[in-house]
């Protein structure tokens, strides 16, 4: 399961022989919502606000819907796909690298299909283009986790709606959504560290990466065996307004699945002092 904003998706990938071409196989990508229905509270006020912004109604109607008792509306979330990728079986056996490039391209296109469809529900997906690009990357990673057998999709809940209070929209909501995304991506013990210390520590390739929940926070790198400091890495994303918790997710995925790329794009600073410890985070002075 992976999130794009408030929406949760179960990703399915099936590889089978083509029914129309005996020499070919087909990879079928499908995204199902974890909850078929999302019960949104206070939808009427949001609709009135949108009509006011478009000049269709007066502000008095916005105030009246705000004072009115909050209503609930069920939003139906459809499946995304199936998206079919047909390939020659000889490609996979004779030129596996070429085949993997094509598979990754299709998985990337599918991930953007999912985010594009999710964006049709603006009350459920944060509108920042940078966040949507980040969500697409997360869907792509989850797709390959399913292909590798590391993630098993759960059935869609058709009889139990997910509840969402749309009146919670306002300042700080993108960060709250991003914090919930951290819960879905990291391990339980890592999420406990995130909740208590505002950071996540991940072990990858014999190194410990300590990722703080701060805008442009430096990633501390330690040797996993000796627990001695090695470096601090600075990763700056293109969107300066990205919520800090979304930064944590992006850096976590890089550290866990693509540590070489993390070292490639990161700016290296002097190592933290002392030895690795599990206590509260320290505050660093600017270099």
The pLDDT > 90 percentage for the chain reads: 28
Per-residue pLDDT of 167-203, as tens digits, reads 554 444 566 667 777 887 888 899 888 888 889 999 9
Per-residue pLDDT of 230-243, as tens digits, reads 999 998 876 656 77
Asked if residues 33 and 154 have their Cβ atoms less than 8 Å apart, the reply is: no
Per-residue model confidence (pLDDT) at position 285: 38
Per-residue model confidence (pLDDT) at position 226: 87
pLDDT over 80 at 55, yes or no = no
**Torsion angle (degrees, nearest 10) of CA 253, 254, 260, 264:** 180
DSSP 200-266: EEEEETTEEEEEESSTTPPEEEEETTT--EEEEEE---S-TT--HHHHHHHHHHHHHH-HHHHHHHS
Q: How confident is the model at residue 157 (pLDDT cuts 50, 70, 90)?
A: very high
Per-residue model confidence (pLDDT) at position 182: 83
Helix, strand, or coil here: 128?
A: coil
Per-residue pLDDT of 137-151, as tens digits, reads 889 989 999 999 988
Cα-based angle 211, 213, 217 (whole degrees, multiple of 5): 65
Per-residue model confidence (pLDDT) at position 29: 97
pLDDT over 50 at 127, yes or no = yes
Q: Is the bond leading into 71 cis (omega within 30 degrees of zero)?
A: no
Per-residue model confidence (pLDDT) at position 102: 92
In the chain, at which residue ranges do the beta strands (DSSP E only) sit? 2-4, 7-17, 24-33, 37-41, 72-76, 80-88, 162-165, 199-204, 207-212, 219-223, 229-234, 267-269
Per-residue pLDDT of 247-272, as tens digits, reads 888 899 888 888 888 898 888 998 87
Per-residue pLDDT of 58-111, as tens digits, reads 656 666 665 555 566 778 899 999 999 999 888 888 998 999 999 999 999 999
Per-residue pLDDT of 2-32, as tens digits, reads 877 778 899 999 999 998 888 899 999 999 9
Query: Which pTM was predicted?
Result: 0.60
Per-residue model confidence (pLDDT) at position 92: 85
pLDDT over 80 at 212, yes or no = yes
Per-residue model confidence (pLDDT) at position 171: 40
Per-residue model confidence (pLDDT) at position 135: 80
Q: How far is CA 95 from the centre of its chain?
A: 31
């Amino acid at each position: 399961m992976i999130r794009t904003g408030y929406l949760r998706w179960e990703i399915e990938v099936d590889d089978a022989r083509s029914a129309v071409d005996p020499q070919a196989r087909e990879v079928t990508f499908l995204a199902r919502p974890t909850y078929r229905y999302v019960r949104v509270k206070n939808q009427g006020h949001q609709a009135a606000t949108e009509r006011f912004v478009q000049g269709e109604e007066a502000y008095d109607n916005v105030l009246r819907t705000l004072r009115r008792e909050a209503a609930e509306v069920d939003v139906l979330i459809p499946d995304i796909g199936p998206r079919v990728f047909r390939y020659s079986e000889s490609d996979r056996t004779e030129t596996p690298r070429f085949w993997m490039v094509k598979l990754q391209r299709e998985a990337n296109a599918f991930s953007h299909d999912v985010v594009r469809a999710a964006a049709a529900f603006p009350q459920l997906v944060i509108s920042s283009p940078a966040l949507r690009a980040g969500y697409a990357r997360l869907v792509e990673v989850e797709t390959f986790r399913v292909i590798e057998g590391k993630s098993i999709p759960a059935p869609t809940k058709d009889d139990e709606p997910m509840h969402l209070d749309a009146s919670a929209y306002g300042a700080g909501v993108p960060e709250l959504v991003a914090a919930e995304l951290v819960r879905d991506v990291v391990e339980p013990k890592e999420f406990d560290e995130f909740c208590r210390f505002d950071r996540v520590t991940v072990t990858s390739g014999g190194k410990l990466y300590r990722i703080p929940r701060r805008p442009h926070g430096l990633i501390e790198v330690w040797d996993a065996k000796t627990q001695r400091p090695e470096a601090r890495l600075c990763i700056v994303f293109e969107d300066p307004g990205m919520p800090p918790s979304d930064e944590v997710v992006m850096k976590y995925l890089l550290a866990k699945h693509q540590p070489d790329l993390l070292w490639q794009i990161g700016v290296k600073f002097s190592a933290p002092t002392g030895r690795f410890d599990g206590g509260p985070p320290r505050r660093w002075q600017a270099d």
